[in-house]
Amino acid sequence: MFLKTFWNCLRTKMTAGKLDYSNKIILAPMVRVGTLPTRLLALEMGADIVYTEELIDLKLVKCVRSVNEALGTIDYVDPSDGTVSFRTCSLEKPQLVLQMGTCDAERALAVGKKIQQDISGLDINMGCPKEFSIKGGMGVALLAQPDKACHILKTLVDNLDIPVTCKIRILPNLEDTIELVKRLAGTGIAAIGIHARTRDERPQHSPHPDVIREVVKHIDIPVICNGGSRDIEKYEDILKFRDLCGASSIMVARAAQMNVSIFRKEGLLPMDELICKYLKLSVDYDNPPHNTKYGIQSVMREQQETPRGKLFLKSQTMQQMCDIWNMGDYCRQKELEHHKKGAFGRRKVIPGQVPDSDILETVAKKAKLENGNNENDDDSDIIEENIAFLRCNYDMKNDKFPKTLLYVHANKNEILQPVYDTEGKDKLFRSICKFDGKRYRSTFWSKNKKQAEQAAALVCLKNIGLVTEEELIRNGSILR
């Protein structure tokens, strides 16, 4: 007893000022759910700690850290296409844990050292049963390789300045589960999350809180139980499942995905109020529209079958979604504000903008010029505008794409068809549309050749009067 007390006191001194996982209610890591707006809303609703969605080490290791002064965030940007792989802000840092998918200790450490200044804890996913994780040797696959799992954790614990944890699933045999957890705890991790189901069990299967209750008896670090969402409908139910497991803390996944105000002691918020809060945060922090839409779908559930729900399902842009909840003006004003402040985004990505990573070489494609165009051509006569082709604005069944509109216009007026010269650099593309004796180009670099040509066609359509500037501003192709 004395020895156990001594080690507990020593651990308390060593972790002073660091994230404490004891007696906490936590937002669990969930793919496509645990982005910045959801995490901030969970904290507002009463969560003590929030986890990111699982982020893969191979993705993070090549990202470049960028201070986004326009949004007040720290962005980890993929240099190949300018997309943000991970976004955070100072409001959440004291309670933020990043969950990483990895199967390699050195790569995990490289990521850990890169991001530890912006998070308060790093968790290694050892419980995901999805095929993607297993094939990559990550997630639950690590439970079959305890030596590798322990090596990864020990490497991180010994070399990082922030607490390291892992999240696992129980094994079919109780004794095996206890033995595994004891080995993992022995690496020096600060806590361990345990999902109360096995690798092959799914949400429709009943959890096994009795297994976690036994495991708790054999280790002296906080155990964070997980897997009780099927019986969690209100705040009090969170505490019931935690107590049933005998765990120090609990993390909530699906129940929080459906209504993040489950963390609110005063009770659940009405659906519309919750969605408006989520939308505001999504606009404030420039969350991708497709991700925001997924989050709202999780909240609406059967309400998606109502007339308003069906209108929502047709929406593609943040503006369209906000209009449904009478937040359209706020969305327009905020997006314009971000643009004027110089928010870094896809519109400003250009080849060679981000320096090569010393961890992962940048794959750069040699410029490929088609139809005889070359870098020595005189560009002074090109009509340029920063107009983006946004695929979400076009319905394959009902709308004609810019290139099609221009093609039909040329036929109708007996003008030679447009010709497109496209260049590709560093996985980015830009095209010149030659039409009726003039050349048009968007300054926006696209992710592929087809989108680059569509953007060039849009510039042409605007300048010959077939598409109005007001229409392009309204659908987000132009920011004014």
Written as six digits, the tokens of 58 are: 């191979």
CB 139 within 8 A of CB 166: no
CB 452 within 8 A of CB 421: no
Q: Cβ–Cβ contacts within 10 Å for residue 82, how many?
A: 20
Cα 316 from chain centre: 18
The active-site residue, picked from 63, 89, 128, 433, is: 128
Distances from the Cα of 249 to the Cα of 19, 47, 123, 199, 460, angstroms: 13, 11, 15, 22, 59
- Phi then psi for residue 234, to 5 deg, are -150, 170
Is 150 considered catalytic here? no
Closest CA to 75 of 317, 390, 286: 286
Closest CA to 48 of 195, 212, 224: 224
Tell me how far apart the alpha carbons of residues 321 and 300 are, in angstroms, rounded to a whole number.
13
> C-alpha dihedral over 448, 449, 453, 455, to 10 degrees?
20
3-state class (DSSP) for residue 111: helix
Q: In sequence order, what DSSP letters do the residues of 367-432 get, joined into one string?
A: P---TT--TTS--TT-EEE-----GGG--TTT---HHHHHHHHHHHTT-PPPEEEEEEETTEEEEE
Active site residues: 128
